Copies of this chain bind each other. A is one copy, B any other.
Amino acid sequence: MAKEITSRAENFSLWYNNLVLKAGLAENSAVRGCMVIKPYGYGLWENMQSALNQMFKDTGHSNVYFPLFIPKSFLAKEAEHVDGFAKECAVVTHYRLRNTPDGKNVEVDPDAKLEEELIVRPTSETIIWNTYKNWIQSYRDLPLLYNQWANVVRWEMRTRLFLRTAEFLWQEGHTAHSTKEEAVEETLRMLGVYEEFAKNWLALPVITGVKTVSERFAGAVDTYCIEAMMQDGKALQAGTSHFLGQNFAKAFDVKFAGKDGELDYVWATSWGVSTRLIGALIMAHSDDNGLVLPPKIAPLQVIIIPIFKGEEELQEMKIHCETIKNELQKSGISVKADYRDNLRSGFKFAEYELQGVPVRLAVGPRDIKNGTVEVARRDTLTKEVVSQENLTQHIVSLLNDIQNNIYNKALKFRDENTHYVDTYEEFKVKIENGGFIMAHWDGTAETEALIKEETKATIRCIPLEGDATPGKCMVTGQYSDRRVVFARNY
């Protein structure tokens, strides 16, 4: 099974597609660009949702739900937003089908044309701010700290499972504040939530930073992001948090009366992560044998595989393995035992390796006699025989080790593939090998565009932390505030 996966070295892109399909995470649907998320892939998303949802609630947010459709005219209200979002999208023009004259098919009923077309939301700022207008009168109504879990549609021409699909699942937070300071604070708070989630749950080290003007969200004053490095050295934007200033409040005329009675426009933020994170998770950690999943986000943490011959041994095994399983479950570990008798255990080993189950326990007749279990960890592919006594404690601690090891490995990889470069010549050579390049830039859109044109590298972000020494732009020699992160990206 695992043998059929293309190696990363051979073709990283094909390796990724192989993994997504063979591990049963998702597949393309009959609808161009839309994916079917299969149970194992959806299990990953559910774990992500659950962790993030708790973090959102802990920071004072509530969930809401706004309509799937946006009236066409709304999209044109915020000038920059319309350019960035209103173009490639699904347009609903009719609300009825009718039978074809031969009665064998259906066709659009021309009499059921909408007066104003509806757009399937590509993001919800416009419909939400149109609604907030009615919810906000005075400073006492603020802040509004809301989030929604939803599907969105952006008509993409070239799609890739999880990474870029016409429909995807995400959460979008939309908050309203009475002061600029509070809105900026919220923007950064949620950026911090994403950073913490990436680190502690996805075992993904990320750089936090602010986007350049050209990479900014359409309608934002500032777009902050977390950027992760994939194993092919490319960058992946894993989450964004936007300070929207008063742009949407002005577009939808949302004012509030302050303590002094003065009217002012409301300050806004929005922030989101999507099913794209599943793509990031795969490309950051997995190997040529299949998925490698951090235990904290894995749908299944431990698989027990009994080694047996014949029905009698199977029955004995079941009793034994169920005992182990129940013990592990009591400690909150998600665990299954695979008693299928039509598959060789070698086949099962490969299958769970492919699926990235962090820990595999194998139990044979000799183990029962000796009171032992063979414990294999997915991240290092190493095995050890351990005593069945204190097994649960051992596994709890092992899962923790694996979580940390996966993070540290990704961090080491990123550090090894992050280069400090001072000349454009060196940059052009280094960028061919991928990775992050920390270089000085003069702050102009022209230089940024030139670099992108000539090297396909973009400025991923201006980091919020790290070395902030000024210097000279590698291209123009002009003054540079600090080094920024360049990379080719997904």
Contacts and interface: CB of A to CB of B under 8 A. Distances in A.
Interface of A: 29-31, 34-39, 42-43, 45-46, 62-76, 82, 86-99, 104-108, 117-120, 127, 130-131, 140, 146, 150-151, 153, 155, 167, 169, 342
A316 B70 CA distance: 49
A119 B90 contact: no
Given A39-B63, A65-B169, A71 B108 contact: no
A260 B245 CA distance: 68
Copies in the complex: 2
Given A34-B67, A43-B63, A90-B92, 15 more contacts: A29-B66, A29-B127, A30-B71, A31-B127, A36-B66, A39-B63, A39-B64, A68-B153, A72-B106, A72-B108, A87-B97, A91-B96, A93-B93, A95-B155, A108-B117
Nearest to A144: B39
A362 B95 CA distance: 52
Contacts of A96: 87-89, 91, 155
A67 to B, nearest CB: 4
B69 A90 contact: yes
Given A95-B155, A96-B89, A151-B68, A106 B76 contact: yes
Contacts of A68: 34, 68, 120, 151, 153, 167
Nearest to A119: B97
Contacts of A95: 88-91, 155
Contacts of A35: 67
A65 B91 contact: no
18 contacts: A30-B74, A31-B69, A31-B127, A36-B64, A36-B65, A37-B65, A39-B62, A39-B146, A42-B64, A75-B97, A76-B106, A87-B97, A88-B95, A89-B95, A92-B92, A92-B93, A92-B120, A93-B94
A167 B69 CA distance: 9
Contacts of A87: 96-98
B131 A30 contact: yes
Contacts of A43: 62-63
A43 B131 CA distance: 19
Contact of A108 (B64, B93, B104): B93
Contacts of A38: 64
Contact of A67 (B72, B97, B167): B167
Nearest to A29: B67
Nearest 6 Cβ contacts at the A-B interface: A34-B67, A39-B62, A37-B65, A91-B94, A95-B155, A93-B93
B71 A97 contact: no
Contact of A97 (B31, B63, B86): B86
A89 B98 CA distance: 11
A95 B225 CA distance: 28
A65 B46 CA distance: 11
B89 A97 contact: yes
Contacts of A30: 67, 71, 74, 127, 130-131
